Amino acid sequence: MKFFRPVILAGAAALALSACSATATTPQTARSEAFDRAALPANPPPACTSKVYVADYARNNIEIYPQGVNNPAPCGKISTGISAPEGIYADAKGKLYVANYLSSSVTEYPRGRRTPSLTIATAAPPYDLFAGSDGTLYVAEATQNAVAEYARGKTTPFQTLSINGGPHGVATDNKNNLYVSYLSNADGVSHVEKFAPRATVGTDLGFTVGFAGEVKLDTANDVVIGDRNADTLYVFPPGQTTPSRSFSIAGAPVNFALDQAEANIYVAGLGQVQIFNFQSGTQTGSIAKGLTSPSGVALYPPAPY
């Protein structure tokens, strides 16, 4: 089942985020930032060391923005190798992974590069992806009811998990267990299954939402999941089937990402990326400039799960 996003440009929230945290600039960092700025018009905004990557499905590109700024202008763009991008992820080394839905491929971009270092031809259109701490790349193939697992740098999966429905989200926790959100063939609602590392059989976590997109874990191993039917994000503590908190989103919360401090969560959709305080659910900002149909979001540095 493919989710089609309405293209609606929304106004930015009025509240500004705190300024970006200072990061020392090294020669390597400067070279990396130069790649990101290469295609910008005259008088570009300052280089963004802490980045927000936004996949724009309709424009076939990844826009790059600074973190900690309310409704900033883009500070870079990636378009080579991009074809209707869905889920995206940036790892701790700054490598960006992109699930290209129409070309049935995954492209990988080392930090600061605008051309892929690796392209993986997937068995079906990839909907979401995630790189675990051991380098394993997990790719959700919703139309095949499968999750393909790739060793670092490989283009052929070493294992493919059979899922009882279309998987729309994949993520790992701090022990490298895999979590898969999927729309069940049995009851028509979304479940989450947990797989031990390299396991082929998962355990249902015992809760459901109407129709989930991505799933993410925080450092407390809370399961964060959105219900696009209810326009709501939920946080489920480990082992619990009732959320500890939830907050409403203006539009379907399909793809989202936590910042490194887990203070803010960025949610893609409805012509913008909305930014919320992760504890209170209060909106603190947004990103809309240069976007048409944001379909995925990733942050660098990433959250530490």
Residue pLDDT, tens place only, 134-176: 999 999 999 999 999 999 999 999 999 999 999 999 999 999 9
Q: Is 1 exposed, middle or buried (0-12, 13-18, 19+ CB in 10 A)?
A: exposed
Of 291 and 251, more confident:
291
Which conformational region is residue 96 in: left (phi greater than 0), alpha (psi within -120 to 50 degrees), or beta? beta
Q: Are 207 and 181 in contact (CB under 8 A)?
A: no
Q: For 75-128, how does the pLDDT look when each residue is reduced to its tens digit (9 = 90+)?
A: 999 999 999 999 999 999 999 999 999 999 999 999 999 999 999 999 999 999
Q: Which amino acid, 35?
A: F
Side chain identity at 150, as an amino acid letter? Y
Please check the confidence at residue 5 and state whether its pLDDT lies above 80. no
SS3 142: helix
Count the Cβ atoms, other than its own, within 10 Å of residue 197: 12
Q: Tell me the pLDDT tens digit for each residue of 163-217.
A: 999 999 999 999 999 999 999 999 999 999 999 999 999 999 999 999 999 999 9
Number of Cβ atoms within 10 Å of the Cβ of 26? 9
> Which of the 8 DSSP states describes residue 293?
S
CA–CA separation, 208 and 293 (whole Å): 27
Residue at token pair 């299954």: 193
pLDDT tens-digit readout, 244-275: 999 999 989 999 999 999 999 999 988 999 99
Distance CA 298, CA 143 (A): 23
pLDDT at position 208 is 98
Q: What is the CA radius of gyration of the chain?
A: 18
Task: Judge whether 300 and 257 are in contact, CB under 8 Å.
Answer: no
Q: Is the dihedral of CA 137, 59, 287, 2 positive or negative?
A: negative
Q: Give the integer Cα–Cα distance in Å for 183 and 191.
A: 7
Domains, the chain: 50-275+291-300 (2.120.10.30)
Q: Which residue has the tokens 């300052």?
A: 46
CA angle 284, 286, 291 (to 5 degrees): 175
Extract the tokens encoding 38.
């290469």
d(CA 174, CA 176): 5
Q: 14 pLDDT exceeds 90?
A: no
Sheet containing 212-217, strands listed edge to edge, beginning at the edge strand earlier in sequence: 212-217, 223-227, 232-236, 245-248
Please give the pLDDT value at position 290: 95
**pLDDT tens, residue by residue, 16-61:** 333 333 334 343 434 344 434 434 333 444 568 899 999 999 999 9
Please name every residue paired with 296 in a beta bridge, in sequence order, or none if there are none: 55
